[in-house]
Structure 1
Amino acid sequence: MSVLIVIPSRYASSRYPGKPLAQLRGSTGEAKSLIQRSWEAAMQVDGADKVVVATDDTRIADAAEAFGAKVVMTATTCQNGTERCAEALAHVAGDYDIVVNLQGDAPLTPAWFIEDLVDGLKANPNADVATPVLNTSGAMLDDLLQDRREGRVGGTTAVFGTDNNALYFSKEVIPFTGQEYAPDAATPVFHHVGVYAYRPSALRAYMGWSMGPLEALEGLEQLRFLERGVQMLCVEVEAKGRQFWELNNPEDVPRIEQMLKDMGHP
């Protein structure tokens, strides 16, 4: 099965304008933009046939082309990364069986997260969309809860059934546990990793649907699938000792830079 990875990226962001061009320093002190580090993460994925950056902003396009990325220009009317991926697919030459949305704010995404995600979708022909979930440790859960206590929208959490099909996603921390956990202990909370794998037919259908009330309230694009009854597979991935966090707010920059240094990313 052929796989296309699309990195949707927009300059305008209510929480962090210009986020894709934010500079992040790694272990050597070299500064690279967020979009470059996300592209480098995508290039490490085994089995990907093509990687493109999809954007509506010439500043991002120029920066991406400067470090060697292929760029697809998309409309300013795209409401989220899924819509941008759908439009990019229409403009990219060739036929693909699976389209991966690696959001441009997740430079710490390990290659095996995406590889496991693609394998999960391949193994489940009834699923139209798949997304990774990461079992949180007590320390990660504390970070999520601290963000909410301080009024920041941090990571998204996911709940799913015994068949691993998604039940709901929220920017609140769900499910409620009311318990404290040791830093290294596993918890019942799963962090949603902002990556998706779609069958092209699901992407095309998505473009024809209007935003539903839950998507509008949460600001989570994947809820449009759930509101339409589309089966969405949650694929549990393993951290394998790696740290993971998305760049959602300016306050996340020091945290991600420290993680880059801890993991030896230049």
Structure 2
Amino acid sequence: MSVVIIIPARHASTRYPGKPLVPLKGAGGQARTLIRRSWDAAMAVPGIDRVVVATDDDRIRDHAEGFGAEVVMTATTCRNGTERCAEAVANLGISPEIVVNLQGDAPLTPAWFIEDLVRGLRAAPEADLATPVLNCDGRMRADLIADRRAGRVGGTTAVFGPDMHALYFTKEVVPFAAGPFADDEETPVHHHVGVYAYRPDALAAYATWPEGKLEKLEGLEQLRFLEQGRRVQCVRVESQGREFWELNNPEDVAKLEAMMARMGID
């Protein structure tokens, strides 16, 4: 039973063109690009059989191959990372048990997030895919709200039922809670961590479905599964003292570098 990590990366990002090649300085002052740090995060996960960067850009391909990554080229018409992963698996001609989509803008993803994610999908045979959710403390919730008030497209939140099946994902901060909350206090909000573990047949089917109305409105690819009536299993993950954030906007570079400095990540 094999698990493959695909890292989708495109240069022509609407919000942040060239994002995969943006350098991020670690605690020791060493700069590595976003795609390199995402690759390093993937390579640190135990039990993974293969890690592949999927891109449509020669600059990203050349850079990734330069640091030793395996790269597969995909079409410029892929509308999101899930479509790119589906094409990558088809182009590689592989049939793994599970395909993990580690977004190229999430270099602070701890290895145990992905380990828990794979276990979560294996434990939920009725689910077509699984994705992690991280309970927000007061500080993370406040950061999410600050992004929305400033008009920035920041992190995503998830709501789910008692069986952990996803009900909805949104760029808004839900559920509503009046607060206030202390920085280290648990809140009812769950941050959706942009990593997915798919069953290959569900991933292949996704690429054949039209873009959903909610998916288009929210700009969230995982909503296509919900709009098609597919089950998305949310998997709770624990931070274990690690800070987590994704690079969505240019302003996030300083935030991620500060987090790496505090955590001692080179």
Same fold (TM over 0.5): yes
Superposed, 1:7-26 pairs within 5 Å as: 7-26=7-26
Partner of 1:217: 217
Q: Does 1:202 align with 2:189?
A: no
Q: Distance in 2 between matches of 1:130 and 1:69?
A: 25
Matched with 2:114 is 114
2: distance between equivalents of 1:194 and 1:248? 11
Report what 1:72 is aligned to.
72
Which residue does 1:42 correspond to in 2? 42
Deviation per CA, 1:206-241, whole angstroms, max 9, x where unpaired? 011000110010000000000000000000000000
| d(CA) in 1 for partners of 2:65, 2:238 | 32
Provide the rounded CA distance (Å) in 2 between the counterparts of 1:217 and 1:231: 20
1:99 maps to which residue?
99
| Corresponding position: 1:136 with 2:136 | yes
Residue 13 of structure 1: CA displacement?
Answer: 1.1
Deviation string, structure 1 residues 234-257 (Cα, Å, up to 9, x no partner): 000000000000000000000100
Post-superposition Cα deviations, 1:163-209, rounded to whole Å, max 9, x if no partner, equal 00000000011111122101101000000000000000001110110
Distance in 2, matches of 1:184 and 1:252, equals 21
Please give the alpha-carbon distance, in whole angstroms, between the structure 1 residues aligned to 2:14 and 2:234: 28
Structure 1 counterpart of 2:223, one-letter code: L
Deviation at 1:93, TM superposition (A): 4.4
Q: Percent identity?
A: 68
Between the aligned partners of 2:32 and 2:177, the Cα distance in structure 1 is 38
Hey, what does 2:182 align to over in structure 1?
A: 182
Normalising by structure 2, report the TM-score: 0.99
Q: Does structure 1 retain, via aligned residues, the 8 Å contact 2:95–2:200?
A: no
Q: Structure 2: how far apart are the matches of 1:103 and 1:94?
A: 20
Aligned residue-pair number:
266
Aligned partner letter, 1:119: R
Structure 2 spans left out of the alignment, 5+ residues:
none
Segments of 4+ moved more than 4 angstroms: none
Matches of 2:261 and 2:73, distance apart in 1: 33
Letter in 2 for 1:30: Q
Higher mean alpha-carbon deviation, 151-160 vs 92-101, is at 92-101
Which amino acid in structure 1 is aligned with residue 142 of structure 2? D
Report the TM-score, using the length of structure 1 for normalisation: 0.99
Hey, what does 1:32 align to over in structure 2?
32
Where structure 1 has 5 or more consecutive residues not aligned to the other structure, the ranges are none
